[in-house]
């Protein structure tokens, strides 16, 4: 039978109109919601079939929606009876429901009363009003609005209290600022606590801004854990944390987190004998780092990486670049705003330069940089123990020893020997071990002062192998 051009009243429209008629007087401007209709049907089921277990026949708003859209064409006898009761109609046809066993489709009532058959498709062309309009389009828009509202309300309930996230950010910032005043064990314990809390909070929110903040916190915590792992000589572990930090930074598009992580990866690489890899990571960090402290740190690490390849010119260029960007004002959240372990102080920069120059045998430049680092720490730090100062002192003493002045080297190191074992990070231990190896050479064996310093160095690095992983191949 040919389709009629007029608007067809579909099962969707019958049920929707019925819900409109059933709106309560208090809600005359609204139709009966699908949830309300579902509740009414379930109540009718209990009333019509007392004593029966009807759980399997209960419906919800999703089922009502499918019924209106024609996805359910012939519900169970019990559900149809409940629908007829609620919607006050004596026949299934009054509900717009027709048994699929019937042939020829369901009767369709046109505006002028003629009866035809509704084809399987719900959308039928409409003529006489707006070109291209279809039966069911208005209802589809209404349905979509209903679903969008529910989805938005549902998503809105998935949030974490802002104060909770703010506290996590304050906590990780506090650890970063006090990192050099904490032993590695203390830093790791507190950082793991913050990370665990952030991981727990992440699935509890669907708000993009909160997810961004939590991923940033996770990036910061694993960055600190990478640094602490380096301090403990746990190279493989440090590399895993650094990789995680880079991935978190990539997730939220945070250049500062990624640059810090790449710097960590470069540091791990040159400490474990993979100089070409160190140069590659450090170059990536320098290219990606935001203006300010982040670039200073990246170029300083790049100089260290090049030093392990014996590239004196490249070391000089990288250190000069680090000096040039030092005065640039930056706004990166990690390097500039939080600082601490994420920052890169003047003493750190000078200490790093002394180590790079020493690595390529530039004694004069190394001595000057190490002296600047020691003096800068003395002028700016009130910490009981400074790893930066200790490492700079060992670099300076090494330069003095290479210059033949063992007495000066002994004096430079005097304050170092009383440092508690819990503060002795691997970078410092490696430097002292190198100094010890120099002092045990044939040249210095007859010299009493050299033997005394060698003995102190041996005691200082005792049990080093028990806490430090061997270099990776």
CA angle 88, 90, 91 (to 5 degrees): 120
Q: Encode pLDDT of 133-186 as tens digits.
A: 444 566 667 677 767 766 666 666 678 899 999 999 999 999 999 998 888 889
> Given this model, what pLDDT does residue 458 score?
95
Q: Phi, psi (5° rounding) for residue 29?
A: -90, 5
Q: Encode pLDDT of 267-291 as tens digits.
A: 999 999 999 999 999 999 999 999 9
Task: Count Cα neighbours of 347 within 13 Å in the Cβ-side half-sphere.
Answer: 20
CA distance 268 to 305: 10
> Given this model, what pLDDT does residue 87 score?
81
> Given this model, what pLDDT does residue 86 score?
83
Residues with pLDDT less than 50, the chain: 1-12, 23-29, 102-135, 466-473
CA distance 204 to 161: 10
Asked if residues 377 and 388 have their Cβ atoms less than 8 Å apart, the reply is: yes
CA distance 272 to 267: 9
CA distance 68 to 328: 64
> Given this model, what pLDDT does residue 7 score?
36
CA distances from 66 to 89, 139, 316, 322, 338 (A): 20, 13, 72, 65, 54
Nearest to 392 by CA among 418, 410, 372, 407: 372
**115: β partners:** 109
CA distances from 376 to 49, 228, 292, 298, 385 (A): 88, 24, 20, 21, 14
């Amino acid at each position: 039978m040919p389709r009629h051009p007029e608007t067809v009243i579909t099962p969707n429209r019958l049920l929707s109109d019925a819900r409109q008629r059933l709106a309560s007087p208090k809600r005359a401007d609204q139709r009966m919601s699908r949830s309300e209709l579902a509740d009414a049907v379930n109540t009718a089921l209990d009333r019509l079939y007392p004593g029966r277990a009807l759980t399997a026949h209960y419906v919800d708003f999703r089922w009502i929606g499918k019924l209106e859209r024609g996805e359910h064409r012939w519900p169970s006898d019990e559900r149809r009876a409940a629908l007829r009761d609620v919607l006050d109609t004596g026949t299934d046809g009054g509900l717009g429901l027709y048994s699929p066993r019937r042939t020829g489709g369901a009767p369709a009532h046109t505006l002028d009363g003629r009866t035809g058959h509704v084809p399987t498709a719900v959308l039928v062309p409409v003529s006489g009003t707006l070109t291209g309009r279809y039966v069911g389009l208005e209802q589809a828009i209404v349905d979509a609005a209903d679903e969008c509202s529910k989805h938005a309300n549902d998503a809105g309930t998935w949030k974490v209290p802002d104060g909770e996230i703010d506290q996590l950010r304050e906590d990780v910032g506090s650890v970063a600022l006090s990192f050099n005043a904490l032993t590695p064990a203390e830093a790791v314990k507190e950082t793991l606590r913050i990370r665990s809390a952030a991981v727990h909070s992440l699935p509890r929110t669907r708000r993009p801004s909160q997810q961004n903040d939590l991923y940033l916190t996770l990036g910061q915590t694993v960055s600190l854990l990478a640094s602490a792992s380096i301090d403990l000589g746990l190279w493989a572990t440090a590399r895993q944390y650094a990789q995680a930090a880079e991935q978190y930074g990539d997730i939220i598009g945070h250049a500062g987190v990624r640059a810090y992580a790449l710097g960590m990866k470069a540091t791990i690489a040159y400490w474990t004998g993979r100089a070409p890899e160190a140069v590659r990571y450090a170059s990536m960090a320098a290219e990606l780092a935001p203006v300010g402290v982040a670039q200073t740190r990246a170029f300083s690490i790049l100089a260290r990486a090049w030093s392990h390849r014996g590239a004196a010119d490249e070391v000089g260029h990288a250190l000069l670049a680090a000096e040039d960007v030092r005065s640039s004002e930056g706004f990166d959240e990690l390097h500039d705003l939080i600082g601490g372990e994420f920052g890169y102080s003047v003493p750190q920069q000078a200490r790093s330069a002394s180590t790079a120059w020493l690595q390529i045998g530039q004694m004069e430049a190394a001595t000057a940089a190490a002296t600047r680092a020691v003096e800068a720490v003395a002028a700016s730090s009130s910490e009981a123990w400074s790893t930066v100062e200790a490492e700079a002192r060992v670099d300076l003493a090494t330069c003095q020893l290479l210059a033949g002045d063992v007495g000066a080297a002994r004096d430079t190191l005097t304050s170092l020997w009383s440092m508690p074992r819990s503060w002795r990070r691997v970078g410092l231990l490696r430097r002292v071990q190198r100094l010890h190896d120099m002092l045990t050479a044939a040249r210095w064996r007859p010299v009493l002062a050299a033997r005394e310093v060698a003995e102190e160095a041996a005691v200082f690095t005792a049990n080093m192998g028990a806490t430090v992983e061997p270099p990776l191949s």
